[in-house]
Structure 1
Amino acid sequence: MRRFGTTLTLLALLSLAGLLTACQHGGSHSAQSGATQSGDVISLRREVSPPQAQVLGDLAARGADGCLLGAPPVPKAPPPPLPLTGTLGLWVAEVDPATLQPLRAVGTNPDSAFPLASTYKQAVLWAVLRAVDAGTLKPSERFDVTRDNQSLGSYPFDGSSVRTLAERMIRNSDNTATDILHRRVGLPAVQNVADDLGLCRTRLIMPTRDWWVMQAGLSRTFSGTGRWAAATGGDRERLALLIDADARAYRADYLQRRLDEYFDRRYDPALDLITHNVSTPYEFGTLVASEFLRSGLSGTSQRWQRQVMALGYGKSALKLTHRGGAAYFGGKGGNGWRLLTYSGYVETTDGRHLVYAFMQRNAAQTYTMPNTRRAFAWINAGIQAVLDAPETPAGASPAAP
């Protein structure tokens, strides 16, 4: 069982595209019932109480600090059709393509914080295309894999273009491709994807290798300060750059060994929320809706974004696809030690726009990939509940969860 930690780490945060066969070997674990659905929330900003009369249509409601308020009151998502363990979160909404306001939605723990794992990588793609539009990054620019930028898992060949790295990042969930692009546009540029939307509980600033260096106890900056977990703005940016410098000092194989030791001997689930990029189901659902319907990108970059995001995992797992009800799909998944995440955007053949964000942490299974069928059973149930629900009129308060 000692090598099981290595297998998990190498697969950690990879999307399921091209990896479903891995569920058939490597020690599958059966899911158990009794999921914890209490929403213990980690605050990444000062709390802003939502107004008493907040309604479903008020997606854009923000506090005095410019932060998006918590999820509006919506019906609770149906229970998972198949057992899922750990703390669970789900947000499924049909959104107005012009205003991005939710027309119908269901949620479970929509304001609880979860590690994003590789689901965050779509924000890197968005930041990359912003840089392309701004003229600060050329699509033809090419990159080599070096000791300095190699992360865990497989990695691209030398001389890969921006487009090749972007496709590997979404289709294969390649961590090295992600880190190369993330650092090329700048750590703050990816965080700005969330900050520009007022998603103050969403952290996107850290490349993949940085998470593991912090968990493995190899970052002097992280270990030497207690400020990181609650840091925001300029303080978070300064600390992130220092942690990233710490991370780049280690070879990937050495980090792998130290990370195996951490998972095998001293894993602390509380560190997941501190070291990973994080969000809430509601905030990340808002990001996904904005990403596809109000990206601010040029027409060329929008087409590029949709083509690349269509390579992400999820389309084959949606019932809408099997019934011929999906005209377009773009999505991303991620997994890690006791973590699993999925998000997606669907345009239906009858012109409806759906977003979903599924999140799981503290699962009973250390290797969570086999939970995919159970996760999508719940996602599909949430989508069906939204499709079947009447539209909530503006100003009307739907049933509380």
Structure 2
Amino acid sequence: MKWLWICLVLCGAAQADSVPVFVTLPTPDLPPSNLTAPISLPPVPTCGATTAVSAPSRPLPPAVTGRVGFYAALYDPQFRPIRALGLGQVNALFALGSAFKPQVVRAALQEVDAGRLNLAALITTTPGKRSIEAYPPGQNTVAKLAQWALERSDNTASDLLQLGLGPPKIARAVQALSPCTSILHTTKAWWAAQAGLMPDIFPNLVTDAVNASILPFEARLKLAERLNARAQDFTGPQVEAALDTYFHGPAYAPALELALQNTSTPQGYADLLARTLGGNGLKPATRALFRQWLAASCCQPRRPALKTFYWGHKAGSGWRLLTLTGSAELPGGRRLAYAYFNDGSNTLESEDMERQIPALVAWIDAALVELAR
């Protein structure tokens, strides 16, 4: 099974003295009564005000099925949208897939800038912290893990950084910038929960997880601490095997994508990327690394029609899921940002979803050219 690692060749994307102290946070209990009370959810949860946008002039590639949300905007120097294009429900919640990883890496680089973390510090991959798929074994530097989290979309590299900094710290920082964005869980935590490996936390998986997803932010954060800690009781291969069974069996429940994965809205995430993907808030050295890694991540066309000074991007894929996000700086200093989210596709495996990427990045390129005129 292949997850969230997007082949750069497929879409032609562009191609590091103090030792940090990582503190293990407590994992407070959440009363079960908060999870099991029956609730009613709207079919498509939303966040933020409805925004009037123009639709892109070109239709989506014919292979695209399922629910699509797309938002792209041209921003002024204060990161306020000047004009925008949108498709679908731009304020509906979607799972981010691996598109959340730049926020983890940016948080790590901010810690480097503050002197609390060193790019050369070594972090060890333990069986409990290893996520699914290929992973960086042994000890690796913070710089290497950050690079792999973006360029390779490495799940373990991202999880190691997230756990080292403390998921609550990252979650609160992101929520302060983007109230519609929730980055609460490591990749291993949401997949272990989604695969049904945590009946001690979610006895009735779908009902309990959906109910938990609409708790107040601080309650969700406490529950996420339990999930992130509990996930370390499993090995990566155990989680991966359970996921194969889950996704190909009768237990599959689409509601768990929004209930357990990190989420945002097309508009909310594009607005966040406009403010963060260029390396704003980082010092020159860490900013240069961040931009370099994002430019080498997935995905943009081999020969973009959009004329840019810089284009950083991050993608994610999964079962019936594909996300394509990025931010581009245009000659003259103007900035574009976009978020394309697709879930519920009739295409099942992530490898097959990824085959749609070349046509989709060409479609996004055309939309951004249209927006930049």
Superposition TM-score tier, normalisation by shorter sequence = 0.7 to 0.9
Q: Structure 1 residue aligned with 2:233, among 249, 263, 274?
A: 249
Closer/same/farther in 2, CA of residues 231 and 126 from structure 1, 3 Å limit: farther
Q: CA deviation at 1:192?
A: 2.5
Provide the rounded CA distance (Å) in 2 between the counterparts of 1:41 and 1:200. Answer: 17
Provide the rounded CA distance (Å) in 2 between the counterparts of 1:183 and 1:294. Answer: 22
Task: State the Cα deviation string for residues 147-201 of structure 1 (Å, max 9, x = none).
Answer: 111000111132210110011100111101010001001101221342121x222
Within-5 A mapping of 1:269-280? 269-280=254-265
Unmatched 5+ stretches in structure 1 = 1-6, 22-38, 48-68, 389-401
Within-5 A mapping of 1:114-193? 114-193=94-173
Name the residue aligned to 1:105: 84
Provide the rounded CA distance (Å) in 1 between the counterparts of 2:213 and 2:73. Answer: 30
Q: CA deviation at 1:318?
A: 6.2
Task: State the Cα deviation string for residues 234-277 of structure 1 (Å, max 9, x = none).
Answer: 21121011111221101111212211110111211111111111
Provide the rounded CA distance (Å) in 1 between the counterparts of 2:203 and 2:189. Answer: 13
C-alpha contact 1:15 1:332 (8 A) present in aligned 2: no
Within-5 A mapping of 1:262-273? 262-266=246-250, 267-273=252-258
| Residue identity opposite 1:179 in structure 2 | D
| Residue identity opposite 2:175 in structure 1 | D
Provide the rounded CA distance (Å) in 2 between the counterparts of 1:257 and 1:20. Answer: 28
Provide the rounded CA distance (Å) in 2 between the counterparts of 1:19 and 1:80. Answer: 22
| Residue identity opposite 2:221 in structure 1 | E
User: Are 1:200 and 2:179 an aligned pair?
Assistant: yes
Name the residue aligned to 2:34: none
**SS state at 2:54 partner:** coil
C-alpha contact 1:167 1:311 (8 A) present in aligned 2: no
Name the residue aligned to 2:244: 260
| Residue identity opposite 1:41 in structure 2 | V
Task: State the Cα deviation string for residues 82-136 of structure 1 (Å, max 9, x = none).
Answer: 211000011111111x210112211122111111100110110111112212222
- TM-score when scaled to structure 1? 0.78
Unmatched 5+ stretches in structure 2 = 13-41
Name the residue aligned to 1:383: 368
Name the residue aligned to 1:80: 59
Provide the rounded CA distance (Å) in 2 between the counterparts of 1:318 and 1:362. Answer: 30
| Residue identity opposite 2:130 in structure 1 | Q
Q: Structure 2 residue aligned with 1:288, among 273, 277, 280?
A: 273
Name the residue aligned to 1:36: none
Name the residue aligned to 2:322: 340
Name the residue aligned to 1:306: 291
**SS state at 1:383 partner:** helix
Q: CA deviation at 1:81?
A: 4.0
| Residue identity opposite 2:362 in structure 1 | A
User: Are 1:229 and 2:213 an aligned pair?
Assistant: yes
- TM-score when scaled to structure 2? 0.83
Q: CA deviation at 1:19?
A: 5.8
C-alpha contact 1:92 1:356 (8 A) present in aligned 2: yes
Q: CA deviation at 1:285?
A: 0.2
CA RMSD of superposed structures (Å): 2.1
Provide the rounded CA distance (Å) in 1 between the counterparts of 2:10 and 2:95. Answer: 21
- Report how many residues are paired: 333
Provide the rounded CA distance (Å) in 2 between the counterparts of 1:136 and 1:352. Answer: 33
| Residue identity opposite 1:82 in structure 2 | P
C-alpha contact 1:339 1:360 (8 A) present in aligned 2: yes
| Residue identity opposite 2:6 in structure 1 | S
